[in-house]
Every structure is written in C-alpha cells, then in structure tokens.
C-alpha cells in the first residue's frame, strides 16, 4: 500500500516588535552593513522595520523545533514560534481543507446571510429592488459532492456580479438518493416554519408531491436519469417573493457531477438562465399573482430574455476566467452554433404551428412552447441588436413596474409589440448568413 506522508506547515503571522531603542540613532548605512555582515537576525529585522531594502525579507520557514507524529501516517512540522498545543490540535486534520481545518486554524467560517425583505401591504418593501451584499445560499443533498456545490456557488456569484446581486437567493439542489432528498426537504420545511412562511406539515405535503415542482419531483428526475442512463435535467425559479426571497430548485446536475457524459457547461448556463428569472422578479414589488404575471410579459419575452442572457453571458464569464471552463466531456459550448440550432428549431415549430400570432401568449400550455424559448431567444437577440447589450438591465426592467410591460416595451424599443411581431416574422425569413450577423462576437 502506498503510504502518504502529509506535512502541514503552520506560519505565525504576528508582527515582530523591536524593543531595542539603540538602533534609532544609527545611520541607514551602518545598519545595512551590520545586517549584511554580522548575520544577526536582530539587525536584519531592524533594517526591515526601518523600510530599508538592503536586507531582503526572509521568506524561508524557520527551522522547526517541534516534530510530532500523532499518527503513523502524518508528520507535522511547525515554525519555531508556533506553540506545541497548536501543533497537537492538527492531529484532527483529515486531508481536506474544509470547515474542520478552518476551525482548527482558528479561521472564522461565519458567512453573510441576507434577511428576507419585508412586506408593505400587498407589495414588497422598496429594498426588494436593491442589490444586496450577501451571496446566494446553496443547499444540496448529502449525495452531491462539495465540489459541485462550490461550482454552483461560484456560478451564481459570477453572474450576480454581472447582472446585479439580488436576493436573498435560496438554491436547493436535489440528488438521486431518496433518503438524502427527504432529509433536505425536512431542512427546507424547517426553514419555512422558522421564518413563518408556511406550516411544517403543509410544506412537507407540498414538497413531496409528484407534480407542481415540489422538491421531491426534482429528486425523481435525477434518479430516473441515472436508472435509465438518459440525460434528464431540470431547474426552475419557483417563487419566493411572497416570503421576501428568490427561491430556485434543481434536479441532479449531471454535468457538474460528471455523470452520463453530460457537459458541465450546460449546467452552468442553466443556473444562469434561472438566476435571470430572479433578476426579472427582483424588479417587481407587487405580490398579487396576476399583477406579477402581467408585468413579466409574454412567455417568449420572459424565457427568451433569460435564455439569451445566459447564452451570451456564459462564454463571456469563461473568457474572463470568472467561472471555470469545465471540460468534463468532449464537448465545447459554442455560442453561434447554439444560436444556429435554436434558429432551426424555432423555424420548424413556427412553420408547423404558426407561432408568430401566438407570441402574445402569457401561458406556457401552448403548442408553441418550444418556439417561445428558441424563437424568444432570437427575438431578444434581434431587439438587443437594435439597441445595446445592456438594454434589458439598464433600460427595460428598471422602468417595468412604473410603466407596465407594453409601455416599457415601447419606451425601450421605440415600437409597439405588435409592430415588432411583424418585423420579427420577416426577420425569420432571411437567409441564415444574414440572420447570424446580428449576434455579438464571442
């Protein structure tokens, strides 16, 4: 058996204090000469303390005075100014830098957790539309790896920095193990009960239903994917404004978990798509369901905006190294290729179901549902090409609740939505090479 020796080097960061005042009257030249020629550590530190560059900072570790072998597989070395008691505590080191090690080293693991926004009658407080300082909270079942959780947190953090950090965000991720799923549902419902959002029993009944986007339904998708060995993945923005939060749910992220040959990049982009729905909702303070739905606009706009923003932002964040470029399979995300595929699908569905006249639809239950996603992505791309890349975040959504969806559309894009539908119908008839020219270059 290969035996592994782990060496843990502990450094003291406390500043050195020089008590000898006789150095004060010495010239810089004299102090430098003594620091170089005498080999005295005291003179060297005095020169550094005065800001002199004649004596380089010693970056080497002090010769260890302690060598403890609490187990036969681990050797611990410490600098001479680290106490023996501190070193002995490291016998608890388990090989991974996590909460256990941070606790041993005395590093605080307290994280910023935003409080839910308050309500003012039938509206959320004005703070709802303001950015917050705390990152998203990500909750995963125990059968999902810590690395996957970290990648979700990084993705949410990067896209929040790009579009605005709204929240508080709760992102619940269900794995394939049923017992682990039930345990996370319990944790979720305890939170709802603690925050006085919902009775624990009622919450548990709701989240264990097979339909209506209950958390258990997301677990079943992941379990089905693994049992059938077929890629099935779903994530969604599942409300939360009524509680002053933005709540998301996800099935097993097969790519991030490196299962079934699924690309991790698709999971990352899907996380961005869902977060944009959070951005959309963060600009609506009204709590009445019908008012919120009317302000969100037609399905093509709501879903097209989320998909376009995710599609164009994912490669940007990878290029800027703000998220990892995860190459877990032999597949690369190609923005223009993905947009070509969406265009082809949009045209096929439109030809079959005549979807342009149905773009006013506010309901997902339509034969043109697929067109609302793929065609909607191209519709947003067309509108962005006529304005600017920040038009949704800087112009449209900030005016949405004050003006209403149609008036905001007209103010932002200088045309009625009906006029736009006629333009877009003609646009889809153009040659592929001409259509592709409107896309931003990546």
The answer to whether residues 208 and 181 touch, using CB atoms and an 8 Å cutoff, is: no
Q: DSSP class of residue 25?
A: G
More confident residue, 428 or 108: 428
More confident residue, 183 or 60: 183
CA 176 to CA 252: how far, in whole Å? 7
pLDDT at 245 over 70: yes
Angle at 51 between CA 46 and CA 53, to 5 degrees: 95
The answer to whether residues 218 and 249 touch, using CB atoms and an 8 Å cutoff, is: yes
pTM of the full structure = 0.77
CA 223 to CA 236: how far, in whole Å? 18
More confident residue, 230 or 49: 230
pLDDT at 83 over 80: no
pLDDT at 204 over 70: yes
Q: How many CB atoms lie within 10 A of CB 280?
A: 24
Diameter of the chain measured on Cα atoms: 92
**pLDDT value at position 33?**
65
Give the phi and the psi of residue 158 in degrees, each rounded to 5. Answer: -70, -45
pLDDT at 345 over 90: yes
Strand 235-237 with 169-173, pairing: unpaired
Q: What is the pLDDT of residues 108-158, one digit of tens each?
A: 667 788 999 999 999 999 999 999 999 999 999 999 999 999 999 999 999
Average pLDDT (295-311) is: 98
Instruction: Give residue limits of the domains in the chain.
Output: 6-104, 128-282, 286-442
CA 309 to CA 298: how far, in whole Å? 17
**pLDDT value at position 85?**
66
The answer to whether residues 310 and 276 touch, using CB atoms and an 8 Å cutoff, is: yes
DSSP-assigned beta bridge partners for residue 173: 140, 250
pLDDT at 258 over 60: yes
């Amino acid at each position: 058996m290969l035996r592994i020796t782990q060496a843990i080097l502990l450094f003291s960061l406390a500043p050195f204090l020089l008590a000898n005042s006789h150095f004060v009257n010495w010239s810089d030249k004299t102090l430098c000469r003594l620091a170089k020629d005498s080999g005295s550590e005291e003179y060297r530190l005095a020169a550094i303390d005065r800001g002199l560059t004649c004596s380089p900072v010693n970056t080497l570790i002090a010769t260890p005075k302690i060598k403890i072998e609490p187990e036969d597989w681990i050797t611990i070395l410490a600098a001479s100014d680290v106490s023996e008691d501190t070193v002995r505590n490291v016998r608890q080191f388990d090989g991974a830098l996590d909460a256990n090690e941070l606790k041993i080293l005395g590093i605080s693991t307290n994280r910023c957790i935003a409080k839910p926004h308050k309500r003012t009658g039938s509206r959320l407080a004005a703070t709802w539309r303001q950015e917050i300082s705390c990152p998203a909270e990500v909750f995963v079942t125990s059968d999902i790896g810590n690395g996957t959780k970290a990648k979700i947190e990084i993705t949410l953090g990067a896209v929040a920095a790009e579009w605005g950090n709204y929240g508080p965000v709760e992102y619940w991720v269900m794995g394939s193990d049923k017992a682990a799923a039930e345990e996370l549902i319990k944790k979720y419902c305890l939170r709802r009960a603690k925050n006085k959002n919902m009775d624990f029993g009622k919450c548990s009944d709701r989240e264990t239903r097979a339909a209506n986007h209950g958390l258990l339904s997301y677990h079943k998708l992941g379990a089905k994917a693994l049992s059938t060995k077929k890629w099935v993945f779903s994530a969604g923005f599942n409300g939360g404004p009524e509680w002053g939060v933005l709540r998301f749910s996800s099935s097993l992220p097969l790519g991030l978990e490196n299962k079934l040959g699924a690309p991790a990049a698709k999971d990352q982009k899907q996380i961005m798509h869902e977060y944009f729905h959070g951005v959309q909702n963060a600009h609506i303070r009204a709590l009445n369901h019908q008012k919120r739905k009317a302000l969100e606009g037609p399905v093509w706009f709501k879903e097209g905006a989320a998909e376009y923003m995710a599609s164009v932002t994912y490669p940007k964040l990878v290029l800027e190294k703000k998220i990892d470029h995860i190459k877990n399979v032999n597949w690369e995300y190609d923005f223009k290729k993905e947009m070509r595929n969406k265009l082809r699908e949009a045209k096929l569905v439109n030809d079959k179901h005549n979807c342009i006249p149905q773009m006013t639809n506010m309901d997902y239950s339509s034969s043109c549902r697929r067109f609302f996603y793929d065609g909607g992505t191209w519709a947003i791309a067309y509108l962005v090409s006529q304005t600017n890349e920040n038009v949704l975040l800087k112009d449209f959504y900030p005016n949405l609740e004050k003006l209403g969806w149609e008036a905001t559309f007209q103010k932002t894009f200088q045309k009625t939505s009906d006029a736009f539908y006629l333009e877009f119908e003609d646009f889809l008839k153009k040659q592929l090479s001409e259509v592709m020219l409107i896309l931003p270059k990546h």
